[in-house]
């Protein structure tokens, strides 16, 4: 996955997602790329970003990237640790979270997501983990950021199962570029350096709209890459 | 409450056909209790758990489960649960009925169970395909008319959790990420708590959750009983194990051989750990 | 969140006609904030509180309240609240509308408010005369048909609590008997927390409840701000004061004189304590 | 209130109520006489009695009698301290409490209690504190013990307001004797030493039924009185 300029597509995704987080935002963070992006933001332009993990840790400040959403360091560094029922009732449903990150196996042009099954529900070809926190995150936070690698199998014209709704999706960050809803449909608004519109079209399972003012994202800066890699070398495996 | 060996607690409190909830959100997952259920070949269980990770992959793969009630069934940070998938996708070793929820729905159902209410209310299950596939109802606010979701309360026959400490009277304390464990115990008709250690006196901890002895049926000493999960202040999460589980569990024979060696052929959590250590030393 | 003087917080966040909840269950009652509301002569408040003890007796007697939403209105361990009684029984200094609940109903209403639900559910308000006198509805379980009670959520305009500590960023910690304070703050549109001290760094405490800075609008330093209630670890409950209040509050003139001297004629909590000390020394 | 034998009527009430608590019982305790009785039981025959105060303290072991249900010593000596919403939802409504003590201003022959108003609700002669925890305690615990001083103003044929129902009332301990429900009506089953049935009848506002096997309670033992007074001298005022 390495690219010109010495960074990977995942690094580009993480950096671009991190850039979207404003300082002070309260973020509901899942594991993997979302956690990487949110932690990167906290270490670069958004030191006041508040990381909330569904395990109950509020204001966690991990020194390295956790492998699970329930790693011990999250509790040790959190401002508060609450029970899981309280997390979902008072904090997520309570309307206190600004940004939620979601991933999925499939996305459609409206930002609806599938993380439940590939194939029919009763006899699935692939049983995926399921919705977890996603259904209520998708409707309970102000802004949903989706992070998903681009492929025709992921960007589909019709979901096999709708796990969560796309109403609050503000941006989809992929390894090829950025999609944002324009008039209710996800539209390519930026490509990463070196990526062509045709590449993105080919990786999208529907006839993708392209913004007339399509732009190119900024490649990761040296500072961003260093902060990112410091997180990963300490924590990732 | 009685302090008893885990084998005795499982024998007396877990019955074939029971609805059983082993809880622990990433942290303090009661693996030793899960292993004991496998050793005693309990059958037809309805397994309830927000995140049926490796602990339920093992129970499902060993044929203990008839039904799974859950909200996220993966190997955290790694990928699929291959035994869960094999049961759902191919009915091996037996078909597995699913009742699927969101995390928020599961949490509300446990909280309702703990509060002895028949249902929990949340703003959820709106749109999408999940509501048609699970047990949920719409309920109108009698004051505003707003439509909300109602989930039936979880009232398991047995709730099982792992904690850091109990005192000699059987009062239990856990701390760190405390998840939904208090609710799981209080929602259940019977309960088992495995602990890292038994102390003379509990010392109150920041973030500590205390379960008084009189809401727990059995306390069982099981040091290392959360492995490969962790016990805050005692040992860390065995992340390598979760990665290794992906390969072990991918193949039916390899899975069975692993369970035979490390669970069925061991008598308790101490032998389980010795068995893992012996295998590691042999590599 | 901003760390501001209490007078400024009350001026900017508490408005005439607001629904205001000062919470603290025996412990950590925000008396300094109540006094500041009296000093600023706020009017037409709907006062919400499970146990409207001396703090609301003072607010009611000084004419700040239009309505009281409560579940137990007495002087704990002593007897009546004479100002509350005078308002209800004789309309002095103004009539007081009552919305009366049980403790369980009030707690469920706060919890619903914190969870941003329009109502809370409980097995309560069954029989007796209370249901006909308050805001409660019956609601049927969609799964079992069981009839339960629904109470409308509390969503005060302003929630006010007292805590032991805040750090310089405005994160708050309270411990000991934590009551319904977290819910009161989270249920309210705006919130004020008075604290005994501001420290560089909060040290997690057993039983500690933390309110992150971003859910609090104003943190105000008010040492001794719970008096005559107490702050666990800082000072004890002034039981003599509660006994003395019975006599002070029994008589309208004596009450007014007391409030004039110790509240209206003082600028803040420090002067309030100095005024009490001066009076005690003069005896 | 001093009586022959060197103990007061309140002491007799506390002692008799304490005797009814079995060891290991989980008791929801209000302030005043109930707290005195429960603490006495814990210091005499029922050391395993669990005291739960509605302030959230579970398993409190106060060394002296608290003046309020939220005294600091309750939290310091408790096995667990929980929030008030949790206390009412998980513990009381959760069905985990064996015995609840209630007091009131008025009681009727069915054990229904009034702690709300004397006179009409909208224009009360006396506005009482109100129900507090009583309505749900009355129906949420297995056994309700009522403690109330006997007088025609308290033992009334018709309540001015029904605050809580008498369904689970097992005993009413007064300064004159004990009443228990027999065929749905409170019946005098015991008088305290030196009390006559006529005295009790005169202090009851309805035509009181008397049990055919009416007995006399045992006076407080020296040990009971000492334990009781140790609690009171340390704590009471």
Does A1 score more than 60 pLDDT? no
Coil/strand/helix, residue D237: coil
Does B276 score more than 70 pLDDT? yes
Distance CA(C111)–CA(C127), nearest Å, equals: 23
D93 contact B CB<8A: yes
Which residues of A carry out catalysis? 54
**What are the start-end ranges of the E strands in chain A?**
26-29, 50-53, 57-58, 80-81, 99-102, 106-107, 113-114, 117-118, 126-127, 143-147, 169-173, 177-182, 185-191, 209-216
D37: enclosing H helix or E strand: helix D33-43
Which residues, numbered 109 to 168 in chain C, qualify as contacts with chain D under a Cβ-Cβ cut-off of 8 Å? 110-111, 122-130, 133
Distance CA(C100)–CA(C151), nearest Å, equals: 11
- Neighbors of chain C with 3 or more C-beta pairs under 8 Å: A, B, D
CA D172 to chain centroid, in Å, comes to 7
Q: At what angle do helices D33-43 and D222-235 cross, to 10 degrees?
A: 120
Distance CA(D223)–CA(D229), nearest Å, equals: 10
Note the pLDDT of residue B210: 98
Q: Which residues pair with A177 in a beta bridge?
A: A191
Report DSSP state, residue B123.
Answer: S
Distance CA(B127)–CA(A64), nearest Å, equals: 37
Using an 8 Å CB-CB cutoff, list chain B residues near D23. Answer: none
Using an 8 Å CB-CB cutoff, list chain A residues near C188. Answer: none
- Neighbors of chain B with 3 or more C-beta pairs under 8 Å: A, C, D
Q: Is the peptide bond before C115 cis (omega within 30 degrees of 0)?
A: no
Which residues, numbered 199 to 238 in chain B, qualify as contacts with chain D under a Cβ-Cβ cut-off of 8 Å? 202, 210-212, 214-215
Q: Please report, in angstroms and rounded to a whole number, the separation of the first and last CA atoms in chain B.
A: 43
- Neighbors of chain A with 3 or more C-beta pairs under 8 Å: B, C
D70 pLDDT band, cuts 50/70/90, is confident
pLDDT in tens, D128-137: 999 999 999 9
Nearest CA in chain C to A93: C115
D85 contact C CB<8A: yes
pLDDT > 90: percent of chain A: 85
CA distance to partner chain B, nearest, from residue A56 (Å): 7
- Neighbors of chain D with 3 or more C-beta pairs under 8 Å: B, C
Token pair listed for D221 = 């033992």
CA distance to partner chain B, nearest, from residue C235 (Å): 21
Using an 8 Å CB-CB cutoff, list chain C residues near B204. Answer: 206-207
Give me chain D's average pLDDT, please: 93
Q: Which of D11, D54, D73, D122 is catalytic?
A: D54
Mean pLDDT of B271-281: 97
Distance CA(C112)–CA(C120), nearest Å, equals: 5
Note the pLDDT of residue B155: 98
Distance CA(C162)–CA(C146), nearest Å, equals: 39
Quick check: A83 and B179 CB within 8 A? yes
Using an 8 Å CB-CB cutoff, list chain D residues near C85. Answer: 126-127
Quick check: D87 and C107 CB within 8 A? yes
A70 pLDDT band, cuts 50/70/90, is confident
Domain map (residue ranges) of chain B: 2-101+155-282, 117-152
D235 contact C CB<8A: no
Does B20 score more than 90 pLDDT? yes
Nearest CA in chain C to A76: C204
Which residues, numbered 152 to 211 in chain D, qualify as contacts with chain C under a Cβ-Cβ cut-off of 8 Å? 161-165
Using an 8 Å CB-CB cutoff, list chain C residues near B206. Answer: 204-206, 208
B114 pLDDT band, cuts 50/70/90, is very high
Q: How far is CA C94 from CA B193, C20, C34, C254, in A?
A: 57, 18, 18, 18
C115 touches B111 (CB < 8 A): no
Using an 8 Å CB-CB cutoff, list chain B residues near A164. Answer: 128
Does A179 score more than 90 pLDDT? yes
A59 contact C CB<8A: yes
Query: Rg of the Cα trace of chain D?
Result: 17
| Cβ neighbours for B266, distance < 8 A, ≥ 6 positions apart | B35, B272, B274, B275
Quick check: B119 and C137 CB within 8 A? no
CA B105 to chain centroid, in Å, comes to 17
Class (C level, CATH) for D9-230: alpha beta
Distance CA(C163)–CA(C174), nearest Å, equals: 5
**Phi and psi based region of residue B175 (left: phi greater than 0; alpha: psi -120 to 50; beta: remaining):** beta
CA D133 to chain centroid, in Å, comes to 13
Quick check: C114 and A79 CB within 8 A? no
C59 touches C34 (CB < 8 A): yes
Does D14 score more than 80 pLDDT? yes
| Cβ neighbours for D224, distance < 8 A, ≥ 6 positions apart | D15, D18, D40, D44
Sign of CA dihedral C21, C121, C111, A30: negative
B35: enclosing H helix or E strand: helix B31-39
Distance CA(B208)–CA(D192), nearest Å, equals: 47
Mean pLDDT of B167-182: 97
CA distance to partner chain A, nearest, from residue C255 (Å): 40
- HSE-up of residue A217 (Cα within 13 Å, Cβ side): 30
Best D29, D97, D132 residue to mutate vs chain C (most C CBs within 10 Å): D132
Note the pLDDT of residue D73: 86
Q: Which residues pair with C159 in a beta bridge?
A: C21, C191
Mean pLDDT of B135-139: 97
Nearest CA in chain C to B124: C117
For this structure, is D54 an active site residue? yes
pLDDT > 70: percent of chain A: 96
Best B114, B129, B162 residue to mutate vs chain A (most A CBs within 10 Å): B129
DSSP string, chain C: -EE--HHHHHHHH--TT-EEEE--SSBS--HHHHHHHHHTT--SEEEEESS--HHHHHHHHTT-EEEEEES--SBTTTB--HHHHHHHHH--SS--EEEE--HHHHHHHHHHHHTT-SEEEES---SSSSGGGSS-EEEE-TTT--EEEEEEPP--SEEEEEEEEEETT--EEE-SS-TTHHHHHHHSSEEEEEEEEEESSPPP-BT-EEE-GGG-SEEEE-TTTTTTSBBTTTB---HHHHHHHHHHHHSHHHHHHHHIIIIIT--SHHHHHHHHHHHHHH-
Q: How far is CA C97 from CA C38, C56, C132, C136, D160, in A?
A: 19, 14, 15, 17, 20
D105 pLDDT band, cuts 50/70/90, is very high
- HSE-up of residue C240 (Cα within 13 Å, Cβ side): 3
B218 touches B1 (CB < 8 A): yes
Reported pTM: 0.97
pLDDT in tens, B220-249: 999 999 999 999 999 999 999 999 999 999
A237 pLDDT band, cuts 50/70/90, is very low
C171 contact D CB<8A: no
Q: Say yes or no: domain B2-101+155-282 is CATH 3.40.1080.10.
A: yes
A5 contact C CB<8A: no
Token pair listed for B122 = 């949340």
Report DSSP state, residue B213.
Answer: G
Mean pLDDT of D55-77: 86
pLDDT > 90: percent of chain B: 98
Nearest CA in chain A to C183: A90
Using an 8 Å CB-CB cutoff, list chain A residues near B178. Answer: 56, 81, 83
DSSP string, A152-171: TTTB-SS-SS--B--TTEEE
Q: Is the peptide bond before C228 cis (omega within 30 degrees of 0)?
A: yes
| Cβ neighbours for A213, distance < 8 A, ≥ 6 positions apart | A189
A58 pLDDT band, cuts 50/70/90, is very high
- N residues, chain C: 283
**What are the start-end ranges of the E strands in B5-127?**
19-22, 45-49, 65-70, 74-75, 79-80, 97-100, 119-122
Strands D106-107 and D126-127: unpaired
Quick check: D50 and B212 CB within 8 A? yes
Distance CA(D11)–CA(D2), nearest Å, equals: 9
C38 touches C259 (CB < 8 A): yes
Quick check: C138 and B142 CB within 8 A? yes
Quick check: C138 and B135 CB within 8 A? no
Best A81, A127, A138, A234 residue to mutate vs chain B (most B CBs within 10 Å): A127
Mean pLDDT of A222-231: 93
Distance CA(D98)–CA(D20), nearest Å, equals: 12
Q: How far is CA C162 from CA A170, C195, C231, in A?
A: 39, 6, 9
Q: Is the peptide bond before B228 cis (omega within 30 degrees of 0)?
A: yes
Does B69 score more than 90 pLDDT? yes
Ramachandran angles phi, psi of D186, nearest 5°: -65, 130
Quick check: C117 and A93 CB within 8 A? yes
Note the pLDDT of residue D233: 59
Distance CA(B274)–CA(B279), nearest Å, equals: 9
Coil/strand/helix, residue D32: coil
pLDDT in tens, C243-261: 999 999 999 999 999 999 9
Collect all residues from B whose CB is shorter than 8 A from any CB in C: 116-119, 121-123, 135, 137-139, 141-144, 146, 148, 150, 152, 204-208
Ramachandran angles phi, psi of C47, nearest 5°: -95, 125
Using an 8 Å CB-CB cutoff, list chain C residues near A59. Answer: 212
Q: Please give the angle made by the CA atoms of B32, B33 and B36, to the nearest 5 degrees.
A: 90
Q: Which residues pair with C191 in a beta bridge?
A: C159
D18 pLDDT band, cuts 50/70/90, is very high
A5 pLDDT band, cuts 50/70/90, is low
Best B2, B153, B183, B186 residue to mutate vs chain D (most D CBs within 10 Å): B186
| Closest CB to B123 among C117, C123, C142 | C117
Collect all residues from C whose CB is shorter than 8 A from any CB in B: 116-119, 121-123, 135, 137-139, 141-144, 146, 148, 150, 152, 204-208
Note the pLDDT of residue B128: 95
Note the pLDDT of residue B171: 97
């Amino acid at each position: 996955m390495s690219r010109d300029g010495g960074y990977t597509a995942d690094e580009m995704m993480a950096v671009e997602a991190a850039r979207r987080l404003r300082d002070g935002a309260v973020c509901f963070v899942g594991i993997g790329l979302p956690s990487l992006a949110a932690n990167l933001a906290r270490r670069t332009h958004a030191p006041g970003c508040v990381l909330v993990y569904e395990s109950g840790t509020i204001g966690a400040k991990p020194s390295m990237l956790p492998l699970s959403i329930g790693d011990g360091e999250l509790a040790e560094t959190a401002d508060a640790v609450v029970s899981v029922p309280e997390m979902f009732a008072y904090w997520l449903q309570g309307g206190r979270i600004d940004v939620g990150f979601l991933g999925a196996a499939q996305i459609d042009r409206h930002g609806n997501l599938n993380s439940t099954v590939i194939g029919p529900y009763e006899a699935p070809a692939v049983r995926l983990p399921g919705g977890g926190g996603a259904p209520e995150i998708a409707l309970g936070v102000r802004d949903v950021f989706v992070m998903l690698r681009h492929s025709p199998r992921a960007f589909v014209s019709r979901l096999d199962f709708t796990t969560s709704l796309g109403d609050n999706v503000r941006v989809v960050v992929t390894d090829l570029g950025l999609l944002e809803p324009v008039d209710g449909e996800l539209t390519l608004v930026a490509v990463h350096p070196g990526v062509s519109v045709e590449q993105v079209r080919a990786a999208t399972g529907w006839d993708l709209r392209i913004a007339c003012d399509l732009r190119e994202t900024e490649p990761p800066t040296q500072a961003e890459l260093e902060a990112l890699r410091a997180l990963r070398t300490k924590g990732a495996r | 409450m009685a302090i008893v060996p885990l084998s005795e607690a499982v024998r007396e409190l877990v019955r074939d056909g029971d609805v059983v909830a082993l809880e622990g959100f990433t942290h303090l997952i009661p693996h030793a209790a899960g292993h004991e259920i496998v050793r005693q070949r309990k059958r037809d269980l309805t397994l309830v758990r927000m995140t049926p990770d490796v602990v339920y992959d093992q129970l499902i793969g060993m044929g203990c489960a008839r039904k799974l009630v859950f909200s996220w069934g993966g190997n955290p940070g790694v990928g699929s649960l291959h035994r869960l998938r094999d049961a759902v996708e191919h009915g091996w070793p037996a078909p597995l009925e699913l009742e699927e929820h969101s995390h928020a729905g599961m949490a509300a159902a446990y909280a309702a169970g703990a509060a002895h209410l028949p249902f929990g209310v949340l703003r959820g299950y709106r749109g999408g395909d999940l509501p048609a596939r699970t047990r949920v109802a719409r309920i109108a606010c009698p004051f505003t008319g707003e439509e909300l979701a109602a989930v039936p309360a979880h009232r398991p026959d047995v709730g099982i959790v792992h904690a850091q400490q109990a005192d000699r009277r059987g009062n239990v304390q856990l701390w760190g990420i405390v998840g939904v464990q208090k609710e799981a115990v209080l929602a259940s008709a019977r309960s088992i708590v495995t602990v890292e250690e038994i102390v003379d006196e509990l010392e109150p901890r920041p973030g500590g959750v205390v379960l008084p002895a009189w809401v727990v049926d059995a306390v069982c000493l099981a040091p290392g009983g959360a492995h490969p999960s962790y016990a805050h202040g005692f040992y860390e999460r065995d992340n390598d194990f979760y990665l290794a589980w992906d390969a072990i569990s991918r193949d039916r024979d390899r899975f069975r051989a692993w369970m035979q060696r490390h669970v069925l052929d061991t008598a308790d959590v101490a032998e389980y750990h010795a068995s893992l250590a012996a295998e590691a030393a042999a590599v």
